[in-house]
A and B are shown apart, each in its own frame.
Chain A
Amino acid sequence: MSVAKPLPHDAAKLHVTGMARYTDDVPTPKGTLHLAFGLSSIAKGRITSLDLTDVRAAEGVVRVFTAEALPAANDVSPSIHDEPLLSDGAIHYVGQPIFCVIATSHLAARKAARLAKVEYEQDTPILTVDDALAANSRFEDGPRVYAKGDIETALEIAPHRLQGTLELGGQEHFYLEGQAALALPQDNGDMVVHASTQHPTEIQHKVAEGLGVPFHAVRVEVRRMGGGFGGKESQGNALAGACAIAAQMTGKPCKMRYDRDDDMVITGKRHDFRISYDVGFDDNGRLTGVDFTHLVRCGWAQDLSLPVADRAMLHADNAYDLPAARITSHRLKTNTQSATAFRGFGGPQGLVGIERVMDHIAHHLALDPLEVRRRNFYPSGGSISGKMKVGVTPYGMEVTDSVIAELVDQLVEQSDYAARRASVAEWNASNPILKKGIALTPVKFGISFTLTHLNQAGALVHVYSDGSIHMNHGGTEMGQGLFQKVAQVAADRFGIDVGAVKITATDTGKVPNTSATAASSGSDLNGMAVKVACDTIRDRMAEHLAELYQTTPQKIVFADGQVQVGAESIPFGHAAQLCYEGRVSLSSTGFYKTPEVAWDRIKGQGRPFYYFAYGAAVSEVVVDTLSGENRILRTDILHDAGSSLNPALDIGQIEGGFVQGAGWLTMEELVWDDAGRLRTHAPSTYKIPAVADRPEVFNVHLFDNVNASETIYRSKAVGEPPFMHGTSVFLALSHALSDCGAEYPALDAPATPERLMMTADRLAQ
């Protein structure tokens, strides 16, 4: 069995030797040209004059083009065609591309791009959610509302009621490899594009539309990305489009990579949210109902904001069975970068909302927040306990697979939660300055694309006559280990060593019409598609060998690199050769579509998810209440990856996701000034977690579970769910501050030292 083994990342050897090629490392033909965008310096208005004389005259510049020179569509939007590649005269944010420079080097292009003389007629920009609400600047005609039960009555009859507001900041992806693309013009007007993208098919579409050619004239290849995290789902369209158009104009290969500052200024980030709540509950902390309002800052273009905001609503319940709920979501349009996909895709924001509510209730009732959480958990579902009681989400989906209660029980025990909570209280009683806090937060995360038709995948598998295998599928590798996990599936289907399976670059010419590698769905979808392709070939082989050896296909076993045919055992390579000589097709496509999902996003009813992934984390922190400086002392995580395809890679996702999630809620702060300029546009001012920021003690374990749904080897998606374990750090910090005064801390995120200090001061007054 090659599945379930903790094999290293497939490219580990290439990575440690520097031989792994990223887009910017692909050897380019002589004469390759380099691109850079000229960017707007204002947030809103119109260009009244654009003088590019100095840009054109600069050293190394080959050509400069604006929107007027584009051969076809001026559009890089992944949704409603509201995002021009180059400004059509209107300016929507600081950093919007206005023109494109083609030059002989990366440096020459960038230097020249600074030489434009641009005059604007400025408008007052809409920068905040308050500005946007006041101006009714929004996507969709009004807020979306999903509801369950009679929320008004639920709140009226509640013995207790609380209101509050939580600010949640955005987050820069900070993939270590910046956005990059390379376009290689072919004969007959065709274009080959190498791009650092999670969505090769969309790059193919946007490039084809930009060139004015059918999709078949464009082939996109992606071997790997140096990190994606959602930031390469749609944000690479502009670079690939510009490169392809420039390549068509000049007949030369064209390449573009954003330097870090440009990348941070131009591209979208995680949506920041303001979440308000009105909650009713009884003396035990059991909710009667909760009314949420989400104000979502979407930036200037729609991009993926609607499904992101939807997913936030779909996670407003997290792991809790809410008798009544209403979630009202305003998708606000502002003159800032177009907020985009980022690991969790709105889910984390929705989840932190209800976790704040649980924490607030516990503070009000002077209960342990863990007890309040437990009293509200969804009842356990079929896979472990077999109990019949089933919870229903605010969007009408039954939760039949919940393991949250058992999982949390186990984590409480493993982490020694009760004793440590007591010792935290003891510490705080005798330490006036350094305050400790501890929090346990659960995660329930819905798996599937909420846009139902995206839940499909294709694969292409060849068995060569020596028994070696070429495997291809629509998923992309961004470090998550997808390629290795899927190769393990392929190896298992043929009973061979995973080393016999060649992992190949994602290629729109091999597997067409693919979905983005997103929504944690990579292994679920592509693993299944590859399994289907492999099984098709294996069945053909078994049929032929049965005929040759006078037996039945059912009696033929593929295992340990051999094919058992009756009493005889032949090497897999020999079997492949026999099948080739027998004129058996040893190549097959595979296709998979997720069953049972059906969702009406306007009504907010249906089954958007095939299943849920679960997990929980306990974090303990210490805060210096005079400075706000803090440390994570210990984190314990127990996470449900179902029957893991590769426990080492899955644990890596959990560790990395947790640190990234904790970074979002504690130290990563995006700051825009009053003119709409992003002032945190480099690692000097935008701090992602560094090596010393992780917990001093860090225990991560997989929860022993199998997926109740029929996924690939009963595994569960693991890309996004662990990100939300960072919530435990945020609420542990809040817990630490709760010792500073009687009021509820009502901490906002990111809980930077500055914000912690100010909150401590407010509480002490």
Chain B
Amino acid sequence: MAKISMTVNGKAVSGEVEGRTLLSAFLRDDQGLTGTHIGCDTSQCGACNVHVNGVNVKSCTMLAAEADGAEVTTIEGMSNADGSLSVVQQAFQDYHGLQCGFCTPGMVMTAAALLKENPKPTEAEVRAYLEGNICRCTGYHNIVKAIMAASGQDVMPVAAE
């Protein structure tokens, strides 16, 4: 067991973990931050994406011990300081970029990372950036639309009918 400490969503936290404990497990089981979802256990689906020192990572592909001393942001830390939804979160709601919601936290984390790097991405750039995030419900159409809208670009509303 090793003692680790890190900043999670702006709060200093610490814990005792096995060397093999994954960051995803530390966040969910030790910190109770269950918005980070386990979809595939094998670093392929992207439901567990978080930001570590500003970098978008699959938290099941990183050991908790590797995040010792790091700044970690999870989906629970993505809202504005006053509790209102961030632009990306609001766009996912407004443009129906979710159905069952299980992939949504990872999608929001990835989208936020993209827009930080590239504030006005093309649709092709959005699709390229989202390759590591799987969604089984939506067909991705509205997810891409939501991210384009969050970047301030014109998007047709869903269901004008």
A-side residues, CB < 8 A to B, are 6, 8-9, 11-22, 24-25, 27, 173-178, 224-229, 259-261, 478-481, 644, 647-652, 655-660, 682-684, 688-692, 694, 698, 700-702
Whether the Cβ atoms of B100 and A17 lie closer than 8 Å is no
Given contacts A8-B96, A655-B142, A660-B136, contact A17 B79 (CB under 8 A): yes
Whether the Cβ atoms of B75 and A11 lie closer than 8 Å is no
Residues of the A chain whose Cβ atoms lie less than 8 Å from the Cβ of B94: 8
- Which residues 81-99 of B have a CB within 8 angstroms of A? 85, 88-90, 92-94, 96, 98-99
- Subset of 20 A-B contacts with CB under 8 Å: A6-B161, A13-B93, A16-B75, A16-B88, A16-B92, A18-B76, A19-B76, A20-B101, A22-B34, A24-B34, A174-B136, A224-B100, A261-B41, A479-B98, A481-B99, A644-B161, A648-B159, A658-B139, A688-B134, A702-B159
Stretch at the interface among B51-59, B64-72, B103-111: B103-111
Whether the Cβ atoms of B161 and A701 lie closer than 8 Å is yes
Q: Which of A225, A651, A657 contacts B100 (CB 8 A)?
A: A225
Chain A: CB-nearest residue to B98: A15
Whether the Cβ atoms of B98 and A12 lie closer than 8 Å is yes
Q: How far is the CB of B25 from chain A (nearest CB, A)?
A: 8
Q: How far is the CB of B50 from chain A (nearest CB, A)?
A: 10
Q: Which of B36, B79, B142 contacts A652 (CB 8 A)?
A: B142
B154 at the interface (CB under 8 A from A): no
B78 at the interface (CB under 8 A from A): yes
Whether the Cβ atoms of B44 and A659 lie closer than 8 Å is no
- Which residues 20-53 of B have a CB within 8 angstroms of A? 32-42, 44-45, 47
Q: How far is the CB of B60 from chain A (nearest CB, A)?
A: 11
Whether the Cβ atoms of A227 and B137 lie closer than 8 Å is yes
Residues of the A chain whose Cβ atoms lie less than 8 Å from the Cβ of B140: 659, 689-691, 694
Most chain B CB inside 10 Å of its own CB: which residue of A13, A18, A224, A259: A18
Q: How far is the CB of B40 from chain A (nearest CB, A)?
A: 5
Residues of the A chain whose Cβ atoms lie less than 8 Å from the Cβ of B47: 176
Q: How far is the CB of B109 from chain A (nearest CB, A)?
A: 9
Q: Which 9 A-B pairs have the closest CB atoms?
A: A18-B35, A479-B100, A226-B102, A15-B101, A659-B139, A18-B75, A479-B99, A25-B34, A647-B159
Whether the Cβ atoms of B93 and A647 lie closer than 8 Å is no
Whether the Cβ atoms of B45 and A683 lie closer than 8 Å is yes
Whether the Cβ atoms of B37 and A480 lie closer than 8 Å is no
Q: Which of B108, B137, B159 contacts A479 (CB 8 A)?
A: B137
Whether the Cβ atoms of B137 and A656 lie closer than 8 Å is yes
Q: How far is the CB of B118 from chain A (nearest CB, A)?
A: 16
Whether the Cβ atoms of B42 and A683 lie closer than 8 Å is yes
Whether the Cβ atoms of A651 and B158 lie closer than 8 Å is yes
Q: How far is A418 from B131 in the complex, measured between Cα atoms in Å? A: 34
Chain A: CB-nearest residue to B132: A690
Chain A: CB-nearest residue to B35: A18
Most chain B CB inside 10 Å of its own CB: which residue of A8, A178, A644, A650: A8
Q: How far is A8 from B98 in the complex, measured between Cα atoms in Å? A: 9
Residues of the B chain whose Cβ atoms lie less than 8 Å from the Cβ of A229: 136
Residues of the B chain whose Cβ atoms lie less than 8 Å from the Cβ of A652: 96, 99, 137-138, 142, 158
Q: How far is A702 from B160 in the complex, measured between Cα atoms in Å? A: 10
B62 at the interface (CB under 8 A from A): no
Whether the Cβ atoms of B34 and A17 lie closer than 8 Å is no
Whether the Cβ atoms of A177 and B102 lie closer than 8 Å is yes
Interface size on B, residues (CB 8 A): 55
B149 at the interface (CB under 8 A from A): no
B148 at the interface (CB under 8 A from A): no
B8 at the interface (CB under 8 A from A): no
Given contacts A8-B96, A12-B93, contact A694 B139 (CB under 8 A): yes
Q: Which of A6, A656, A702 contacts B139 (CB 8 A)?
A: A656
Whether the Cβ atoms of A683 and B131 lie closer than 8 Å is no
Given contacts A6-B158, A15-B101, A24-B34, contact A684 B135 (CB under 8 A): no
B151 at the interface (CB under 8 A from A): no
Whether the Cβ atoms of B37 and A177 lie closer than 8 Å is yes
B127 at the interface (CB under 8 A from A): yes
Whether the Cβ atoms of A690 and B134 lie closer than 8 Å is yes
Given contacts A8-B94, A8-B96, A18-B76, contact A691 B40 (CB under 8 A): no
Q: How far is the CB of B126 from chain A (nearest CB, A)?
A: 8
Whether the Cβ atoms of A479 and B101 lie closer than 8 Å is yes
Q: How far is A178 from B48 in the complex, measured between Cα atoms in Å? A: 14
Q: How far is the CB of A628 from chain B (nearest CB, A)?
A: 21
Q: How far is the CB of A425 from chain B (nearest CB, A)?
A: 29
Whether the Cβ atoms of B76 and A177 lie closer than 8 Å is no
Whether the Cβ atoms of B136 and A688 lie closer than 8 Å is yes
B128 at the interface (CB under 8 A from A): yes
Whether the Cβ atoms of A259 and B41 lie closer than 8 Å is yes
Chain A: CB-nearest residue to B158: A648
Q: How far is A691 from B133 in the complex, measured between Cα atoms in Å? A: 8
Q: How far is the CB of B72 from chain A (nearest CB, A)?
A: 13
Q: Which of B45, B75, B138 contacts A17 (CB 8 A)?
A: B75
Residues of the A chain whose Cβ atoms lie less than 8 Å from the Cβ of B96: 6, 8-9, 12, 648-649, 651-652
The 0/1 profile, CB within 8 Å of A marked 1, for residues 114-151 of chain B is: 00000000000001101101111111111110000000
Q: How far is A684 from B42 in the complex, measured between Cα atoms in Å? A: 9
Name 7 extra pairs, CB < 8 A, besides A16-B98, A682-B42: A8-B93, A176-B39, A176-B102, A224-B100, A226-B37, A260-B39, A655-B142
Given contacts A16-B104, A227-B136, A683-B44, contact A9 B99 (CB under 8 A): yes
Whether the Cβ atoms of B128 and A692 lie closer than 8 Å is yes
Q: How far is A543 from B158 in the complex, measured between Cα atoms in Å? A: 41
Whether the Cβ atoms of B44 and A19 lie closer than 8 Å is no
Residues of the A chain whose Cβ atoms lie less than 8 Å from the Cβ of B134: 174, 176, 683, 688, 690
Q: Which of B103, B128, B139 contacts A176 (CB 8 A)?
A: B103
Residues of the B chain whose Cβ atoms lie less than 8 Å from the Cβ of A648: 96, 158-159
Given contacts A6-B158, A16-B108, contact A660 B139 (CB under 8 A): yes
Q: How far is the CB of B39 from chain A (nearest CB, A)?
A: 5
Q: How far is A538 from B3 in the complex, measured between Cα atoms in Å? A: 60
Q: How far is the CB of A178 from chain B (nearest CB, A)?
A: 8
Q: Which of B34, B36, B127 contacts A21 (CB 8 A)?
A: B34
Whether the Cβ atoms of B100 and A177 lie closer than 8 Å is yes
Whether the Cβ atoms of A16 and B93 lie closer than 8 Å is yes
Residues of the B chain whose Cβ atoms lie less than 8 Å from the Cβ of A701: 161
Chain A: CB-nearest residue to B86: A16
Residues of the B chain whose Cβ atoms lie less than 8 Å from the Cβ of A700: 141
Q: How far is A475 from B69 in the complex, measured between Cα atoms in Å? A: 46
Residues of the B chain whose Cβ atoms lie less than 8 Å from the Cβ of A19: 35, 76
Most chain B CB inside 10 Å of its own CB: which residue of A14, A479, A692: A479
Residues of the B chain whose Cβ atoms lie less than 8 Å from the Cβ of A684: 42, 44
Given contacts A17-B78, A176-B45, A652-B138, contact A24 B38 (CB under 8 A): yes
Given contacts A683-B44, A688-B136, A694-B140, contact A17 B76 (CB under 8 A): yes
Whether the Cβ atoms of A694 and B35 lie closer than 8 Å is no
Most chain B CB inside 10 Å of its own CB: which residue of A655, A684, A691: A691
Q: Which of B39, B79, B92 contacts A177 (CB 8 A)?
A: B39
Most chain A CB inside 10 Å of its own CB: which residue of B32, B99, B128, B138: B99
Whether the Cβ atoms of B40 and A683 lie closer than 8 Å is yes
Given contacts A8-B93, A8-B94, A652-B142, contact A176 B136 (CB under 8 A): yes
Given contacts A25-B34, A479-B100, A691-B131, contact A18 B139 (CB under 8 A): no
Q: How far is A260 from B136 in the complex, measured between Cα atoms in Å? A: 14
Q: How far is the CB of B156 from chain A (nearest CB, A)?
A: 10
Q: How far is A648 from B47 in the complex, measured between Cα atoms in Å? A: 24
Q: How far is A689 from B130 in the complex, measured between Cα atoms in Å? A: 12
Residues of the A chain whose Cβ atoms lie less than 8 Å from the Cβ of B136: 173-176, 227, 229, 656, 660, 688
Whether the Cβ atoms of A692 and B127 lie closer than 8 Å is yes
Q: Which of B40, B89, B100 contacts A260 (CB 8 A)?
A: B40
Whether the Cβ atoms of B40 and A682 lie closer than 8 Å is yes
Chain B: CB-nearest residue to A653: B99
Most chain A CB inside 10 Å of its own CB: which residue of B98, B100, B130, B158: B100
Q: How far is A309 from B137 in the complex, measured between Cα atoms in Å? A: 25
Q: How far is the CB of B140 from chain A (nearest CB, A)?
A: 5
Whether the Cβ atoms of A690 and B139 lie closer than 8 Å is no
